[in-house]
Every structure is written in C-alpha cells, then in structure tokens.
Amino acid sequence: RKQKCGSREPGDAAADGSTKSRSSTWRVRVPSLRRTFAATRWLSRVEHRPMNSSSSYAGEAPTMPDDGDDGGYGDDGGYGSEADAVDDDQGRPYVPPASVSDGCKPSFAHNIEKHFLVPTRLQDKPYELIEAANDWHYAMMNDHPRNEFYKAALARVVRPDSIVLEIGAGSGLLSIIAASLGARTVVAIEANHHLANVAREIIRRNGYGGKIHIINKMSTEVTPDELAPYGTPTILLSEILGTLLLGESALHYVMDARQRLTAPHCAVVPLRGCQFATLVDSADIVSITSVQDWQGIDLSWFNSLQDTTSMVFTKQYGFRFSSCKYTELAPRVPVLPVDFASDTVGMWRGEKRTRLQIQKAGTIHAILASWEVYAVSNGVQEDDLVMATHPDATLDNFPRDMQWGQGLQLIEDMSKEGDSPVPFTVSAGEWLTLVTRFSVDGVTLQFQLERDASN
C-alpha cells in the first residue's frame, strides 16, 4: 500500500498529544528514499527539520517535525542562474539515508516493538539504513543488466594509470568492477558509516583491499587534500540515479566533484542522460485511481479528491507498470537532457514547452516518466550503450522495476477544470503542448497538457 504523508506508526504521538512509548513526534515514512520525487520529495528534504521550525519550502507542503532518524546517500527558455539555485531553499540536494553529516539517529531496534525479536546484527543499525537496504539495495545489486552497463562503460575508459573516484560506494560493487578492469587506484566515497564498513569488508573479501580506499563522508565534504595520497582522479563514477533521472541530486554531486576533486576533462560515467515523458491510456490505471459507480450507486463525486498534481513512484501504487495494459498515444518525448560532464545545477529552473502530435485517439489518463543514461568512449558519445527505465526495458527485469520503476502523474483536462477532474480525450492527429515544470535543481518535475490552438 502507498504510504501516507504524516501517517503515524506505533509509539508515535497521538492526535491529543499523548504517547504510548518512546517517540513523541510524527514519524514520516518515505517508502523509497532512493526514489524521492514530487509528492514525496519534500519529505526527504524537510523531515529532519526541528518541530519548532517556522520556515518551510516555498510552494511545498508545511515542515514536518524532526523524527531524529539517521539520514545518508546516496531548448526553450525559463532557465535561471546557478547562483539562484544555490540561494534558493528548494535547491537543497537529496541527502542519503543515515549519512555522517546528519547527526545521530534512532537504531533499528528503537523503532520495533519492545517485545519483538531483533537480531543482534541489526539492533544498533540506523532504522533508515535497514529500511533502504531492504527496500531497494538488494534489487539494485541484482539488476544484472545495470551491473553489465557499468562494467561495459568503465571498460571503455579505464586504463592502467586510471584513478577512479566513485560517489556513493554502497556495497562497493562498482568500485570493485573498476579495480578488476585494471584501474591503478579507486577511491570510493560513502556517506553512511555502516555501509562504508560493509563495503570495506566486501572489498577485502574480494581481494581488493590494497587497491580500493573508502572515505566515509559526504562527497561535498571531501577535500582535494584528502585525495592527494591517491592522486588526482581521472575517472568520475557514480550511480546516484532515482526514479526520476536527477531524483537523488546526481548532477549536484557530480558537478561538485568534477569542479573540485577531479582532473580537468576527466571521464564521467555515466556521461549523459535524458528524462522522457510518455502519454498513456490505461484502463488498469483508471481502475485504481478513480471511481464511477457500483450497482447503480453513483460514486463519482469521490473523484474530486483525485491527485493530478503529484508524481508517484509506480512501486508506491503496488504494481509494475510493465504488467499493465496500456497504449502510448504519442511518441516518447525527451524533456530533460543532461550532460554530467558539463551541465550545472539551476539550468532547468522554470518550465519547458514541447509540441507533440497525437498518433492514436484515446484518453490521456497519465504521463509516465522514465529515463535513459549513456556511456562514453574516448570522449566520444556512444549511444549504443544505454541503460533505461522505460516499461519495455524493464519487462524482463523485475529488480529494476523494484528499485527504479517509473514516475506516474495522473492527468486531467485543466481547460475544463471544475469540482471533479475531466478526462483529457484526444483524437489522432491532434497537436498538444506538453508543459514540463522543473524544480530549481531538476530533481523533481511536473507535467501539464495544453491543447494547441491550431487544432
């Protein structure tokens, strides 16, 4: 079931302020911290603020009280300046679960009923870390085509004298791949203390203890002096991609590292990416997001509560989109191309408008957000090596749907806005304008459709 914003868990404060156990604050659970965006995006960025904080993010939901968890890693106008992004509160990057920069957080055992059994190995670990590891880390590591993509991409750039810097080591898998391909040295940055120790042990067990070095910090807190003993990195490696392409502030961290920590013109893996939008007609989606009647009982007024504003991770709905029956009514639209080797945070402030033509008549029930990332060879862009989250790319890849999946935003015809949403019906050959609105850092986005006056 989809987690609700502000839902209470056992032991949290009751509505009247009374408590039954250790916690007297709201605990807001984010179903997938790795996949933070739109409706859930503000949770990952605001949930650590104190209860008496009077400030909130402009245009976003009110500040939630701090629950004391251990956090971690992880063509057309309207664009603002980088300075605007730095100063704007909305431009704060995603912080991974249980990072060293985020203070002391409750343990896993602290969040479990006192009389429930908790294995000793888990008792002192941060609750958020265990939640994240079991939510998506296993699926990520078992996404074998993902691992093969990174191995092939690294094979194109690793040389015997290569010094690789990885942002977000996690298990250490990608660093081990880089080392196994012959890199001279690999420096892996991991913000979470417990994950850093896990990575060290995995690296040791695989025989790379003398070649891979872990730094337990946020990458933005690492200094060139700390890297000096290993040499200046010539390859910048990361896999901090979310359900949305920049959902884990990948560009923020990559940009910072390439500007401060790496050699000029270092190889960046992955080199580029692109966020796509697809207009879909799907009776399956309708069946879980709206209602009409049952045995003559009119229930349609309940649709006045339908959320056509937020982007939701398909996993939060409890299904794989690739398992649904759906029709693509127009070609997939690229809405956010990203060059990780040169782009800067703040480039996508505002909105982008894209004209597109409908190919099949139907009703646009939702817009599906998926992405592609690309590798590089000797400085030349190579689109033949692609990793994607489109439903047709995940059909035979269950782990990828469980760790990334796609974003889904329901659609209504805003030109006919009223007390209940009006379906957005289209005819073949009709022209529409897709409006994509971006957060300052490009981490989150929102879609809207407008009918073209030329129809």
What is the Cα–Cα distance from 129 to 19, expressed in whole angstroms? 25
Task: Quote the CA–CA distance of 2 and 166 in Å, as a whole number.
Answer: 33
pLDDT computed for residue 439 by the predictor: 84
pLDDT of residue 165: 99
Residue 82's pLDDT is what?
37
First to last CA, the chain: 41
Q: What letter would DSSP give residue 93? A: P
**Which residue matches tokens 């994240």?**
132
Residues in a beta bridge with 334? 276
Q: 107: Cβ–Cβ under 8 A, 6 or more apart, which residues? A: 123, 124, 125, 126, 127
Class of domain 71-102+143-455: mainly beta
Reported as a single tens digit per residue, the pLDDT across 145-176 is 999 999 999 999 999 999 999 999 999 999 99
Catalytic residue at 131? no
Instruction: Determine whether 239 is an active site residue.
Output: yes
Residue 270's identity, in one-letter code, is P
Amino acid making up residue 305: L
What's the rounded Cα separation, in Å, for the pair 93 and 9?
A: 27
Q: Which amino acid would we find at residue 342?
A: S
Instruction: List residues bridging with 380 in a β-sheet.
Output: 377
Could you tell me where the DSSP H helices lie in 156-209? 173-180, 193-205
For residue 93, the model assigns a pLDDT of: 77
Angle at 424 between CA 418 and CA 425, to 5 degrees: 130
Alpha helix ranges (H) inside 297-349:
314-317
The Cα-based distances of 11 to 8, 27, 155 in angstroms read 8, 10, 51
Output the pLDDT for position 75: 35
pLDDT of amino acid 216 = 97
Contact 434, 447 (CB under 8 A): yes
SS3 407: strand
Omega of the bond prior to 270 within 30 degrees of 0, cis? yes
Question: Which pLDDT value is given to residue 347?
Answer: 80
The answer to whether the beta carbons of residues 416 and 326 sit under 8 Å apart is no
The active-site residue out of 131, 190, 248, 412 is 248
Low-confidence residues of the chain: pLDDT under 70 = 1-92, 97-104, 376-383
Q: Are 321 and 368 in contact (CB under 8 A)?
A: yes
Q: Give the active site residue among 131, 239, 372, 430.
A: 239
Contacts of 231 (CB under 8 A, 6+ apart): 163, 184, 185
State the burial class of residue 79 (Cβ atoms within 10 Å of its Cβ: 0-12, 13-18, 19+). middle
| Predicted TM-score (pTM) of this structure | 0.79
pLDDT of 318? 87
Domain ranges of the chain: 71-102+143-455
The three-state secondary structure class of 14 is coil
Query: In this structure, what DSSP letter does residue 99 have?
Result: B
